[in-house]
Copies of this chain bind each other. A is one copy, B any other.
Amino acid sequence: MIKVTIIGSGNVAQHLIKAFQKSEVSSTEVQLVQVFSRQVEKVIYLIDESKICTELSQLLEVDLYIIAVSDGAISEISQQIPHSNRLVVHVSGSVPLFALSNKNRKGVFYPLQTFTANKELDFSNVPICIETETEIDNHLLKKVAHSLSELVYEIDTVQRKALHIAAVFVNNFVNHLYKIGADICEENAVPFDILYPLIEETVNKIALLSPEKAQTGPAKRKDMATIESHLSFLENNNQKEIYQILTQSILANGKKL
């Protein structure tokens, strides 16, 4: 039995708590022993109160501590764990493994997904990127990861940073383009919903074709007349500038300019 404690009560922590509790039903190999949260009310609806602790000094000795707090607090929290030679991991895409304190064994457990408060998520479909310093820890962390998800990858710190940046492009920036699309619709009294089937099909296409082969549109077919007419239609300078730079990038086929 691998004993696990989650430190944190934010979005990722809450989704992890739910996922561990769900997996405990089917697996008898991993047990969620404790959750650390300074505010009991943030996790009380998720787990039995007896398992919640509000002081780091109350942390029981377990096999694995998962630190799910903001990037800036990871290092300090890892130093305050009152045990040693345990496996301590964080869940961040951008913090290196070595940011964790030396008093425990280090690792990373990065679930590559966007977590939304109050939106259910099937954790079995969340890719978990793990990194450890030893084979034994790798084995332990992989076992825990597989108790939650079918998608477990060994990813080192540099690759994880690359993935996090790629995730910013395909998630944060893509969502911002949806926002711009919604703004343009609103300004012209068109319901944004009309675009939803197109948005879905854009994603469906790259499950079959590479994004390079899936590319269509005025820039791809070098249709300068349409590009010019779009640019003169757009009145918002910010939208215009984003239209220009992405069009240029497609025209250059994403090559270094």
Is the beta-carbon distance between A190 and B175 smaller than 8 angstroms? Answer: no
Tell me, yes or no, whether A129 is within 8 Å of chain B by CB. Answer: yes
Copies, count? 2
Give per-residue flags for A159-197: 1 if the beta carbon is below 8 A from chain B beta carbons, else 0. 101111111111111111111111111011111101111
Query: Knowing A241-B245, A246-B176 touch, does A198 contact B167 (C-beta < 8 A)?
Result: yes
Residues of B within 8 A of A116 (CB): 205, 208-209, 214
Binds B, one of A80-88, A133-141, A225-233: A225-233
Tell me, yes or no, whether A114 is within 8 Å of chain B by CB. Answer: yes
Interface size on A, residues (CB 8 A): 96
Tell me, yes or no, whether A46 is within 8 Å of chain B by CB. Answer: no
Is the beta-carbon distance between A185 and B172 smaller than 8 angstroms? Answer: no
A interface, CB within 8 angstroms of B:
71-72, 94, 112-114, 116, 119, 121, 125-127, 129, 151, 153, 155, 158-159, 161-185, 187-192, 194-203, 205-212, 214-220, 223, 225-226, 229-230, 233-234, 236-238, 241-243, 245-246, 249-250, 252, 254-257
